[in-house]
Amino acid sequence: MAAMWNTHTSLQETATYQLDPTTGKASAVLSSANVIAGTGTGGSVSPRTAAVFTTRSTVPGRKGRGRMYWPSPDDSHYQTTGQLATADATTLESGFRTAYGTFKVTSVGIIWHKTLLIGDNIVEIELNITLGSQRRRTSKVARSAFGGPV
């Protein structure tokens, strides 16, 4: 990823959550420092723009799908349509598949169902070449607005 992110993008930490099987709430968190700084030469994109990975279980329909958001590559990896270049999308997808294979040696990735309080194992991963928008909480930043009576 470092070569696809520009120098304004970096990964600082990875967190893995263990869910309580009766409540679905996080019962443990494993945080790992993963300082990976971008080295790409392309331009910056919005920090809300993200590469969206769809995860699937064996359950059909919406209940069997989940999403993961990764920071977008720099703009040199986009086609004129605004989508990821096919070769770069393939690189991202295969890299994620390899990393997930390593993760599966010691852990199990699931899609959690809040209403049923059960999780289904992830069996498939897909990367959409159309970038998505990752909603981010901005409540930690002091509100700043301009306005007045009209």
Token pair for residue 15?
A: 């967190």
More confident residue, 140 or 117: 117
The residue written with tokens 């919406």 in the block is 62
Q: Where along the chain do its domains lie? A: 43-133
**pLDDT tens-place string over residues 36-58:** 899 999 998 888 888 999 999 99
Is residue 136 pLDDT above 80, yes or no?
A: no
Residues 15/30, Cβ–Cβ less than 8 Å: yes
Task: List C-alpha distances in Å: 82 to 7, 129, 136, 146.
Answer: 20, 9, 21, 32
Of 34, 42, 4, which is closest to residue 127 (Cα–Cα)? 4
pLDDT band at residue 143 under the 50/70/90 scheme: low
**pLDDT tens-place string over residues 81-123:** 989 999 999 999 998 889 889 988 988 889 888 888 888 999 9
DSSP strand E in the chain: where? 10-19, 26-37, 49-56, 65-71, 110-113, 118-121, 124-127, 132-133
Identity (one letter) of the amino acid at 68?
A: M
